[in-house]
Amino acid sequence: MSYAKINLGLRIVSKRADGYHNLESIFQELSLADELLIERADEFSLATNQPGLPVDETNLCTRAYRLLAAEYEIRGGLKIFINKRIPLGSGLGGGSSNAATCLKVINQLFRLNLSLPEQLRLAARLGSDVPFFILGRTALVKGRGEVVIPITFLKNYQIVLVYPGRAISTAQIFNNLEIGLTKYGGGVKFEAVIFRIASLDDLSGYLFNDLEEVVSRVCPEIMGIKERLINCGARYVSLSGSGATVYGLFDLQTDLSNIKQEFPASYLVFIANPR
């Protein structure tokens, strides 16, 4: 399985000399997942049930295979089928998760015996969020995403994910940051306040997403989704990553059986649990 994630807060720390941004976030892996079917073959092939998902050399699974094949002179191909459940461009890390899953499976199938540090190094070459998915669960993530520090964090809640069906370009959002649509770099470091968060009610006092203002300009539906989740009893609501998925954290005893009826039929609504 290739699990999704949400960002429990996202702080933009600074712009880097290489054009990227230093970030700080708490990543939480979810029960929502894509299913990847991977087996050895004579040649490499990639297929999916999702029409909008590229299966060429731009796909991160293809890039993971090519990277490891070049680095370790792998002989033989791979047959991959991605049963996609995580929406494309949703801010839930589906592509990065797929890449990490492929990297781990290739390591096993071809008996590369890669150490964890080596897997993390390779993952960072594939994308900013990929290293987190090598470890999964819950982690403080810093830098471009290459610094992944496992942490113990809240688990006693359920999650409602609402995707309005509009894929958001991460590059577009960060370009907007560059032209000053929002200020970033302020706020208390998440690393300094993690130990103070003991319940869902504490989250809004310490965590925030610096990208939310910019993303809301591109996707105005976000504010309406947040309001509906709060009205349904969510204890904490936020945008995940660069969006456009908005999530609400609910008490375990909250009945969510009718939650999908609160949103337009065109929206994708998922109920998930933290892993």
Using an 8 Å Cβ cutoff, are 41 and 76 in contact?
yes
Crossing angle of helices 60-72/116-126, nearest 10°?
Answer: 130
For residue 177, pLDDT over 70 is answered with: no
Cα–Cα distance between 22 and 126 in angstroms, integer?
Answer: 17
Cα separations in angstroms, 74 against 40, 77, 165, 200: 11, 8, 39, 47
Q: What is the mean pLDDT of residues 142-167?
A: 92
Tokens of 115: 């150490």
Residues facing 150 on adjacent strands: 139
pLDDT band at 126 (very low <50, low <70, confident <90, very high): very high
Crossing angle of helices 60-72/94-109, nearest 10°?
Answer: 30
Catalytic residue numbers, as ranges: 5, 129
Alpha carbon 72 to its chain's center = 28
Peptide bond into 47 cis (omega under 30): no
Helix (H) or strand (E) holding 78: strand 77-83
> Of 47-51, 63-67, 240-244, where does mean pLDDT reach its minimum?
240-244
Going from the N-terminus, what domains does the chain have, and what CATH number goes with each?
Answer: 2-150 (3.30.230.10), 158-272 (3.30.70.890)
Q: What is the mean pLDDT of residues 92-121?
A: 97
CA atoms lying within 13 Å on the CB side of residue 197:
23
pLDDT in tens, 7-31: 999 998 877 767 677 889 999 999 9
For residue 105, pLDDT over 90 is answered with: yes
Q: What is the mean pLDDT of residues 154-172?
A: 85
Mean predicted lDDT score pLDDT of the chain: 91
Greater confidence (166 vs 39) lies with 39
- For 65, residues 6+ apart whose C-beta sits below 8 A from its C-beta are 44, 78, 80, 102, 106
Comparing C-alpha atoms, which of 2, 213, 218 is closest to residue 95?
Answer: 2
Q: What is the mean pLDDT of residues 203-207?
A: 93
For residue 43, pLDDT over 70 is answered with: yes
pLDDT value for 181 = 41
Alpha carbon 58 to its chain's center = 18
Residues facing 148 on adjacent strands: 141
Other beta carbons less than 10 A from residue 107's beta carbon: 18
User: Starting from the edge strand earliest in sequence, which strands make up the sheet with 246-250, in order?
Assistant: 236-239, 246-250, 158-163, 268-272
Question: Could you tell me what percent of the chain has a pLDDT over 90?
Answer: 77
For residue 218, pLDDT over 70 is answered with: yes
Kindly provide the residue ranges of all beta strands, DSSP E only, lying in 146-206, ordered along the sequence: 147-150, 158-163
Using an 8 Å Cβ cutoff, are 77 and 44 in contact?
yes
Q: What is the mean pLDDT of residues 262-274?
A: 97
Q: What is the mean pLDDT of residues 154-181?
A: 75
Cα–Cα distance between 244 and 218 in angstroms, integer?
Answer: 9
- For the stretch 148-155, contacts whose Cβ atoms lie closer than 8 Å and that sit 24 or more positions apart, written own/partner, are 148/27, 148/120, 151/26, 151/194, 153/8, 153/26, 153/28, 153/194, 153/197, 154/197, 154/199, 154/200, 154/274, 155/274
Q: What is the mean pLDDT of residues 97-126?
A: 97
Backbone angles phi and psi of 102, in degrees to 5: -60, -45
Q: What is the mean pLDDT of residues 69-73?
A: 94
